[in-house]
Amino acid sequence: MDKLVSLCKRKGFIFQSSAIYGGVNGCWDFGPLGVELKKNIKEHWWYTFVQQRDDMVGLDASIIMHPDVWKASGHVEAFHDMLVDCKDCRKRFREDHLEDTVKCPECGGELGEAKAFNSMLKTQLGVSEETAVSTYLRPETCQAIFVNFKEIYSSSRVKIPFGIAQVGKSFRNEVNPRNFIFRSREFEQMEIEYFIREEDEVELFEKWQGEIWEWFLQIGLMEDKMRWYEHPKESLAHYSKRTVDVEYEFPFGWGELQGLANRGVYDLTQHSEHSGKDLSFFDQEKNEKYIPTVLEPSAGADRTTLAVLCAAYDEQEVPSGKEGKTETRVVMHFKPSIAPIKAAVLPLVKKDGLAEIAQDLEKQLRKKFNTYYDQAGAIGRRYRRQDEIGTPFCICVDFDTKDDNCVTVRDRDTMEQVRMLMDEVCAYIEKRIARDSD
């Protein structure tokens, strides 16, 4: 983990928020490469679960919602952690994270009684003291989907079963933000609420399990580092009839990547009751009005980004170029569709017009995908720099290019080089980064 965190900082993937002021615990900034990586993951998710399906529509709702939403959803009442304070050092811990609930894990002092602490972040809307309204930053994106359910189904001509997808920020006042971006206070979720008939819940739950699993493999996670966890009945969230999680084996242990819950009719019923608006659905095929059952695949974009970073990280011993010596090659094996930069264009040397040819080629390629131009230092060092940030293809312009219009394209993983016409490079790379083909 330490090596990965250091690479993320050094190469511009992820920085601590407000670092020059000492940082903010549980908040992270995605730098030039991190923003591209996370964007590619979110786009891949949207492409798979929205664009490629005819039973899914999207939503981008506001983060701040009416305060009554959180009463209806049960969050004001039930969205809390049980916390215990140490009577000596005053540190606070989540009761469910403690092995021993009597002794403080930090100083060995006596721990107090567990108290409920609501994890939502409060905010004020309005400028005057008297009229300002207190509300919360959303702790999950899905409530906006339930609140907009009627608007969406009456404007989109959808039929049961159908889903509404949303990607966006959520906020939780986590007591112990930890493990880099795994548990943060501000994070992004990729959520689907899938509305179905109750009689289909078992079959469709299983189908979603298969689809979620497959997507994680498509973005580069290894099956032997993934497993299912079934929540026992007694510890289900207040809204859930059944929940399973996809867990990933991070360097610090197994952790939840994505939940899949059967929320039953809980949320639409609650919002119907609290708002006084009828949120039932008229099923024309069945000629029947009912509140649909909801299946919810809910993934964290930041946790998925962390899993992708962990899965990609590799160190290899390779010949250094000096007789009998080796060196460590750090390489990020991102899938080409997920890699922040797809191709780097490198002139073998700056002189003899090679730099100009390489710059022209890079300008052409950047119309189609993210590229990088680098002419500084020995070619081997430049390849290593690209390996470290996971660029799948390096294109070298050499002395022969001037005569034959050909360049070499180096594959990051095999380090093999193929020679091809400059005119063919773009199509070759586009084919290799196509989402379905990796």
Binding site for ligand GAP (CB under 6 A): 140, 142, 172, 174, 183-184, 187, 189, 191, 256-259, 296, 298-300, 302-303
Q: How far is the CB of 101 from ligand GAP (least distance, A)?
A: 22
> Which of 256/283 has CB closer to ligand GAP?
256
Closest residue to ligand GAP, judged by C-beta, is: 300
Helices (H) and strands (E) in the chain, counts: 13, 23
Taking the complex as a whole, the smallest distance from the CB of residue 258 to ligand GAP amounts, in Å, to 5
What tokens appear for 250 in the block?
């991070």
- How many Å apart are CA 271 and CA 142, to the nearest integer? 13
State how beta strands 343-347 and 371-373 pair: parallel
Q: What's the min distance (Å) between Cβ of 49 and ligand GAP?
A: 15
- The C-alpha atoms of residue 29 and residue 180 are separated, in whole angstroms, by 11
Q: Name the minimum Å distance from CB 358 to ligand GAP.
A: 41
Minimum distance from residue 193 beta carbon to ligand GAP (Å): 9
Least Å from the CB of residue 152 to ligand GAP: 17
Place of tokens 């994270």: 97
Closer by beta carbon to ligand GAP, 148 or else 364: 148
Looking at the Cβ atoms of 111 and 301, the one nearer to ligand GAP is 301
Minimum distance of ligand GAP from residue 52's CB (angstroms): 22
Q: Is the CB of 189 or the CB of 262 nearer to ligand GAP?
A: 189
Q: Identify which of residues 166 and 386 has a Cβ nearer to ligand GAP in the complex.
A: 166
For residues 93 and 117, is the Cβ–Cβ distance under 8 A? no
For residue 83, the number of C-alpha atoms closer than 13 Å in the C-beta half-sphere is: 18
Nearer to ligand GAP, 265 or 355 (CB): 265
For the sheet with 115-118, list strands across it: 92-94, 80-85, 115-118
Token pair, residue 309, equals 């970073």
Distance from C-alpha of 291 to C-alpha of 295, rounded to nearest angstrom: 13
Select 338 or 344, whichever has its Cβ closest to ligand GAP.
Answer: 338
CA separation for the pair 280, 271 (Å, rounded) = 11
- φ/ψ region of 208 (left if φ > 0, alpha if ψ in -120 to 50, else beta) reads alpha
